[in-house]
Amino acid sequence: MAFLDVLFSGCEERTASDIHLAPGLPPFFRVRGVLSPDLKLGLLNRQMLFDIASDLLFRMSGRGRESLLTLLSRRGSFDGACTSASGGRYRFNIFQCQSMSAFGENDKADGNVPSLGIAIRLLESRFRSLEELGLPARLADFCKLKDGLVIVSGATGSGKSTTLATLIDRINQTREGHIITIEDPVEYVHASIRSLVHQRQIGIDAMSFNEALVDSLREDPDIILVGEIREQETIRTAITAAETGHLVFTTLHAGDCVGAVERLVSVFSSGEQDAIRRQVSLVLKGIVAQRLLTSERTDQPRRRIPVCEILINTPAVANLIATGKSAQIYSAIETGNALGMQTLEQDLVRLCQAREISRTTALAMARNPDVIRSQIRAR
């Protein structure tokens, strides 16, 4: 059995979330948030890490050693995803690093082999429902849209990819259409069910998000998932796709809904921003800004739970976006619960009332702690 398969089996047997590999150290597994070494698997040297990295790349793309060196030479790291023999899906990042532990005579690595670190994450083995994820059922309404732009925002590790995978799976289960996903890497594999699904990975199937997005417009899509939009041209193309009758889902690194709007606009020059605001106000359907917290319930196993802010682009909100009155959007979200909106603070109060988190945690996470205090007193 290849050593990579030993690591995958160990991860699945422990129900670990992550595997970390570094030169001069044993493999580390993260179980229920705690990272611990497995000394029984022995110490890893540079050659072993290079062989594991080569195996990961081969399982992802059929490429070998030379391609690994080429990919590392571009940026010093790269992302990917592959499937284990048992069917587990893993995302990985391979990166060059400075070796902190010397092997001396035990390090049999070729002099041309770089010192590598590898982080591997076990992904969900199946698509879970919005309810199972702890997300608002109202997000399912986005799956019924015919066109427009839907954004899921949040920090790295906040569950954006999982949320989008759940929405795409729901569309695949309930609608006929052509879904194209553009990802780096492809994390969740969607088999065509009611929809026809094509998934493209950056670096293997296309050179860039924008190139793949431009290509997709010639491929008769109904729904397009863009893993992330951050460059000006990709944002411009995504807006155009939404304008021309496609439903576009994407992610942004932004802490809240208003921040996501401002992030879209700020990428452009000051001379273009007014026009971009108008375009965004017309094509945007909604934004979900989410974070992950650890449940503080003592009567259940330790688990992660999402807290969400939701913006629905009503005519009033669209006007605020178009005119640059971002500060007033918070008030629109706060009073828009009947329309499917909620603020971060409102969701924190809900979790606090359900005893999922403490009042202290809710206050620490809130943008405006006074809102938490007043709402908890009111209830």
In tens, the pLDDT along 49-78 reads 999 999 999 998 888 788 888 888 888 988
* Helix H or strand E encompassing 277: helix 270-283
Q: CA-to-CA distance for 190 and 262, rounded, in angstroms?
A: 32
Tell me which of 56-70, 98-112, 318-332 is least confident: 98-112
Looking at residue 103, what is its pLDDT?
44
Q: Are 25 and 107 in contact (CB under 8 A)?
A: no
Compute the mean pLDDT over every residue in the chain, rounded to the nearest whole number. Answer: 91
Q: What is the mean pLDDT of residues 22-31?
A: 94
Q: CA-to-CA distance for 339 and 342, rounded, in angstroms?
A: 9
Fold annotation for 3-122: Beta-Lactamase (3.30.450)
- Taking the mean position of all CA atoms in its chain, how far away is CA 252? 9
For residues 42, 54, 61, 247, the Cα torsion angle rounded to the nearest 10 degrees is 60
Find tokens 């780096």 and name the residue. 184
Q: What is the mean pLDDT of residues 360-376?
A: 89
DSSP bridge pairs for 30: 18, 35
pLDDT band at 223 (very low <50, low <70, confident <90, very high): very high
Looking at per-residue confidence, does 12 or 67 come out higher? Answer: 12
φ and ψ of 153, to 5 deg: -115, 160
Looking at residue 345, what is its pLDDT?
95
- Preceding omega of 185 cis (within 30 degrees of 0): yes
Q: What is the mean pLDDT of residues 339-364?
A: 94
Q: What is the mean pLDDT of residues 236-259?
A: 96
Domain residue spans in the chain?
A: 3-122, 130-342
Q: Name the nearest CA neighbour of 204 among 220, 218, 184, 188.
A: 184
pLDDT digits (tens, 9 = 90+) for 77-104: 888 999 998 889 999 999 999 865 544 4
Looking at residue 72, what is its pLDDT?
87
- CATH code of 130-342, in short, is 3.40.50.300
Q: How many helices (H) and strands (E) does the chain have?
A: 14, 13
Q: What is the mean pLDDT of residues 33-44?
A: 92
Is 379 a residue whose pLDDT tops 70? no
In the chain, what's the furthest Cα-to-Cα distance?
Answer: 70
